[in-house]
Amino acid sequence: MKALLLLLLAQLCSPSLVPEREKDPEYWRGQAQETLRDALRLQRLNQNVAKNLILFLGDGMGVSTVTAARILKGQLQNRKGEESLLEMDKFPYVALAKTYNTNAQVPDSAGTATAYLCGVKANEGTVGVSAGVTRDRCNTTKGQEVTSILRWAKDGGKAVGIVTTTRVTHATPSAAYAHSANRDWYSDGEMPPDALEGGCKDIARQLVENIPDIEVILGGGRKYMFPKNASDVEYPHEDKHRGTRLDRRDLVQAWHDVKPPGKVAKYVWHRRDLLALNLSRVDFLLGLFEPGDMVYELDRNNETDPSLTEMVAVAIRMLQKNPRGFFLLVEGGRIDHGHHEGKAKQALHEAVELDRAIGLATRLTSPQDTLSVVTADHSHVFTFGGYTPRGNPIFGERENVSAVDFGKPFTSILYGNGPGYKIVAGERENVSAVDFAHANYQAQSAVPLRQETHGGEDVAVFARGPMDHLLHGVHEQNYIPHAMAYAACIGSNRAHCNAAARPAVTVLLPFLAL
């Protein structure tokens, strides 16, 4: 045991692990002074009116996921990783958001989406409604609907868009336009008879009918738009991808039909057609690239399916045509799915792709008129640790120096619960006997569950652009859209915007006085 401990200390202190420049104290002093100069520059607040708003949502992207994604990004660039910067790391203001639902200590993605999009906390499993609605109870919905910042932006004359790697009817995007007592009512084929008889509408139908003039909708979810048993255009022989609608409606056609005369509406399902569009001649764009959720980035067919970054590029260029600006919701939704499946490699590559999209959006916009916010709906019981040495592969293992576990190695990445729990011959599985670097490897967990669960801790909020300083400290999650709306002079709180489009130095005085 003593020998193993000495070996561990020797590895951690090995000079080969330390980049040469980091051995010089002046490197760290200079880095700190540069950071100090950046911080001092922030004293000059950006109080412009935000013409554009972009909300990037990493579904399930808790702080541990952000850190691990940062290391992965650096290691993909052949660096050690820990010293790397994500694009969101470069945003000047950071806050924490409390994620609980009104009826849940550890939240789900529907109640949280209602908070950060509609500005109202809600019960788990419900979208776009107040906490007066009980999950599954259609008859509790009427009069409890709440509107989102996407609606506020549209009412303010801005263009609006939704981009997601999940189905476009999933929890996060649906809170932008729908009001439902159950997040899973994607089409009428998923609704119980009492909800249909009670007059509740499925989420796909609400996408087409509630706010028919959303300029850009990109993601997955084709099968919820087409009649039951209708063959999918891409997978015509696979039954699981067939249409699900009991009302036999073609909602893509319905989406076309509600557009104003003279306006050009384009529907695409293939990456080639998306990238070939002449966006100057398109007024409305619907892209549905998979029957359900889009494929993990690591598994994506880059001929048929666009990346999140490519979809964001198209969306921003479409929305920028509106001289009054835009609101864009961007969701990296499959970070969450990777974690639920215990597949950390899939989850972290999804997070890196979201960060790539953030970088692209940063280059296409200016912080002088665009407020960008990056956050998560909730965390996961995902962790990495074990005194691993500097530069250790983020998906790598660590030798165990404890006789308690028979000296078996373990991966740095672990889950508190989930499908990765395995006992072999009465002992924890020896990870040296499996391919733990495989994309679909399920990391070990402490408690056996079919699906890993969300975590309940606060999530980070990164902000850059006009009035970004309003996102600071620790906030309730529902504060986020109110701050963004205030910055853009949309929604109900517009008293400070009466003097036309001036950078309102006086705007903050009441806040400062408090």
pLDDT of residue 35: 83
Q: Alpha-carbon torsion 30, 35, 38, 39, what sign?
A: negative
Instruction: State the DSSP H helix or E strand holding residue 152, giving kind and residue range, or none if neither.
Output: helix 149-155
Asked whether residue 402 falls in the same domain as residue 480, the answer is: no
Asked whether residue 270 falls in the same domain as residue 166, the answer is: yes
Residue with tokens 């019960």: 123
Q: Please say whether the beta carbons of 383 and 310 come within 8 A.
A: no
Q: How many residues does the chain have?
A: 514
In a domain? residue 15: no
Query: Which residue range(s) make up the domain with 277?
Result: 52-381+459-495
Number of domains the chain contains = 2
Question: Catalytic pick from 64, 109, 187, 379?
Answer: 109
pLDDT of residue 175: 98
In a domain? residue 437: yes
340 in a known ligand binding site: yes
Asked whether residue 464 falls in the same domain as residue 444, the answer is: no
In a domain? residue 204: yes
In a domain? residue 423: yes
Task: Give the number of other Cβ atoms within 10 Å of residue 141's Cβ.
Answer: 24
∠ at Cα 59 (54, 63), nearest 5°?
95
Residue 193 token pair: 């008879």
Asked whether residue 377 falls in the same domain as residue 417, the answer is: no
Residue with tokens 């001289």: 323
pLDDT of residue 512: 27
256 in a known ligand binding site: no
pLDDT of residue 102: 96
What is the rounded CA–CA span in Å between residue 231 and residue 226?
9
In a domain? residue 2: no
Q: Is 109 a catalytic residue?
A: yes
Q: Please say whether the beta carbons of 154 and 211 come within 8 A.
A: yes
- Window from 14-28, 163-177, 464-478, 491-505 with minimum mean pLDDT: 491-505
What is the rounded CA–CA span in Å between residue 59 and residue 42?
29
369 in a known ligand binding site: no
Q: Please say whether the beta carbons of 493 and 411 come within 8 A.
A: no
Q: In what order do the strands lie in the sheet with 284-288?
A: 265-268, 284-288, 216-220, 159-167, 326-332, 52-58, 370-376, 459-464, 93-98, 474-476
pLDDT of residue 226: 98
Asked whether residue 407 falls in the same domain as residue 467, the answer is: no
Asked whether residue 166 falls in the same domain as residue 83, the answer is: yes
Residues linked to residue 418 through DSSP beta bridges, in sequence order: 448
Of 400, 438, 402, 393, nearest to 420 (Cα)?
438
- pLDDT averaged over the chain? 92
Asked whether residue 212 falls in the same domain as residue 277, the answer is: yes
What does pTM read for this prediction?
0.93
Whole-number percent of the chain with pLDDT over 90: 83
454 in a known ligand binding site: yes
pLDDT at 468 over 90: yes
Q: How confident is the model at residue 21 (pLDDT cuts 50, 70, 90)?
A: confident
Asked whether residue 421 falls in the same domain as residue 355, the answer is: no
The contacts of residue 122 (CB under 8 Å, 6+ apart) are 101, 102, 110, 111, 114, 115, 129, 130, 131, 133, 146
Q: Alpha-carbon torsion 286, 289, 290, 293, what sign?
A: negative
Asked whether residue 477 falls in the same domain as residue 432, the answer is: no
Q: How confident is the model at residue 14 (pLDDT cuts 50, 70, 90)?
A: low
Phi-psi bin for 320: left (phi > 0), alpha (psi -120 to 50), beta? alpha
Residue with tokens 């972009």: 54
pLDDT: is 39 or 499 the higher one?
39
- Three-state SS letters, 279-330: HHHCCEEEEECCCCCCCCHHHCCCCCCCCHHHHHHHHHHHHCCCCCCEEEEE
- Three-state SS letters, 401-418: CCHHHCCCCEECEEEEEE
In a domain? residue 501: no
170 in a known ligand binding site: yes
304 in a known ligand binding site: no
Asked whether residue 375 falls in the same domain as residue 491, the answer is: yes
496 in a known ligand binding site: no
pLDDT at 411 over 70: yes
- Window from 7-11, 111-115, 154-158, 450-454 with minimum mean pLDDT: 7-11
**Region 306-318 average pLDDT:** 98
331 in a known ligand binding site: yes
pLDDT of residue 16: 65
Residues linked to residue 379 through DSSP beta bridges, in sequence order: 455
Task: Give the number of other Cβ atoms within 10 Å of residue 89's Cβ.
Answer: 14
Task: Give the number of other Cβ atoms within 10 Å of residue 454's Cβ.
Answer: 23
Residues linked to residue 456 through DSSP beta bridges, in sequence order: none
pLDDT of residue 499: 56
In a domain? residue 109: yes
pLDDT of residue 508: 33
CATH code for the domain of 339: 3.40.720.10
Domain stops at, among 429, 448, 467: 448
Asked whether residue 426 falls in the same domain as residue 368, the answer is: no
Asked whether residue 313 falls in the same domain as residue 437, the answer is: no
Domain stops at, among 412, 427, 448: 448
pLDDT of residue 39: 82
pLDDT of residue 242: 98
In a domain? residue 183: yes
**Region 302-331 average pLDDT:** 98
Q: How confident is the model at residue 405 (pLDDT cuts 50, 70, 90)?
A: confident
